[in-house]
Chain A
């Protein structure tokens, strides 16, 4: 089986801090990481490969040249090869344009059985690129996959997470799955693999390499545009209650009851 994993390098939003005075984001010094859901996607792919001898796992990403570090991390986790779609023409892409570029890269990779991506990236939280990519490639998609039950006879049986439970879905390959964190626990990199990862070449493709014209990529091919961005007005500072615990509890209940909250 050939499995393709879609991965994205993202700023670790857990490390994003707010400037207490200005109320703005402090972006400096925020580390870049492999998007957490994508790590689950890669883990799922590696597990399937390990259970099906002769299978391979390729990782593909669109991003700036520094996304190579993230792809090395994927190789060190055990991916067989890695591809980076990188070009100035890809910049400013919305999810629609991103899926076009990824689709072109995947077509160039050739035949595949399964594409796995993370449900969403923590910087944008859109969860759109996975299903959009599947539509572009003309393959079926199952999003929010929390368990892969079985792969047999060219079909995959998965559990798709819902707000109040899950569905069991059967889908024919080739197909696309998007992973949620409940799917698995990503493995650690091993020393041996880290060394090996640095001996491997990461293939970098631009728009010409994948047969796209510059006007079909990035900002120019993005139907949505950011009109403006702004910091939400900060909420007025609240009140810290003081005294002993029973006093604070009494004060709280009194205040909430006065305001008809309770």
Chain B
């Protein structure tokens, strides 16, 4: 255990700078050791006043029994809840039931009170709500400070975040502040029936290897979860719960980045994770105009278009359409892969689809390995033929 001897500390901040874990902060003229301290003792050596002592106890372990409840970061943008946060409430409910604890949501924003009832409707028992102008849009420092302080005060045992561009920024910052671990991009979460530990499963090597990860001695156990992987729960507007206000105080220097502007992409809105049908194109399209044909088919099926990394890298389509390990993970009812060879990174992002149809000139393309139905042929001939058949089907129904 490392302690600061208050009478000897002169507030020189040498220990703050030397701490490899950023565990020391200054409170006025006094160094204070925070929860991310690992007893490494670097501060003991650098202190010129011998004001820090290390007592040889057993290695510090967090009292994990002090931590309760499952928390979900309720990510909102422009006052709208992100789909992944709703999915996490569904998953969080399952985990909370298995542990026998409460499910809570943490909501940050400015005047987003209308989301509280929505969070209850999707299963939250409690909502921790911070309503501040500084939290109107996502900001790393402001959100980290707010949620870290809430975690330190209320001690959740599990914290789940969506693996969005925001969740993947906030998660790591929070984990370091809390001195705990974080597992990225989980696709499966379970509770160990014996010791109630969170078992976090994530793909590695493009989904060809799965790893189950635990965080046995630190709390909270934190995961980011890929959007589109977990099922959304049923909405029940009769559900109610408890609201607990968080009141972060922001001082000068607490928020070190300034968002000057938010630019929405001018391209059509792509909601790959919500689509039932995705018609996706790859290198085999040969050029950007191929997507016009895919759009026709997608429209016919009430779906949207997607793309492989090869098509995005060729500059044929915006990266917002990219399906795969570095793009979006999708799980539509029907996925039609056109001119996509099926690199493992792509497969990792779509192999959970209900039905997979592959259209490719090359009969040896790996995509056929995972396809439910495969057609070897020129997509510029095959797709118009499919559209024609769909027209016939429509005509027969009417």
Contact = CB atoms under 8 A, between A and B. Distances in A.
Given A16-B205, A226-B211, A165 B345 contact: no
A169 B373 contact: no
B146 to A, nearest CB: 15
Interface string A98-110: 0110011001000
B214 A253 contact: no
Interface string A149-188: 0000000010011111111111110010000001000000
Contacts of A226: 211-213
A3 interface: no
Interface in B260-289: 260-265, 269-270, 277
Looking at A94, A216, A221, A224, the one whose CB has the most chain B CB atoms below 10 A away is A224
B273 to A, nearest CB: 10
Q: What is the interface of chain B mostly: helix, strand, loop, or mixed?
A: mixed
B171 A128 contact: yes
- B interface bracket (residues with beta carbon within 8 Å of A): 35 or more
Contacts of B204: 123-124, 229
A53 interface: no
B91 to A, nearest CB: 19
Interface stretch (B105-113, B121-129, B242-250, B352-360): B352-360
B181 A94 contact: yes
A126 B38 contact: no
B47 interface: no
A100 B171 CA distance: 16
Nearest to B377: A245
B175 A168 contact: no
A248 B382 contact: yes
- A interface bracket (residues with beta carbon within 8 Å of B): 35 or more
A169 B258 contact: yes
A160 B89 CA distance: 28
Contact of A164 (B17, B175, B264): B264
B390 A253 contact: yes
B385 A249 contact: yes
B3 interface: no
B1 interface: no
Nearest to B372: A238
A143 interface: yes
A166 B267 CA distance: 13
13 contacts: A16-B205, A124-B184, A125-B185, A125-B325, A129-B172, A141-B173, A143-B168, A162-B165, A224-B214, A240-B368, A246-B385, A249-B389, A259-B355
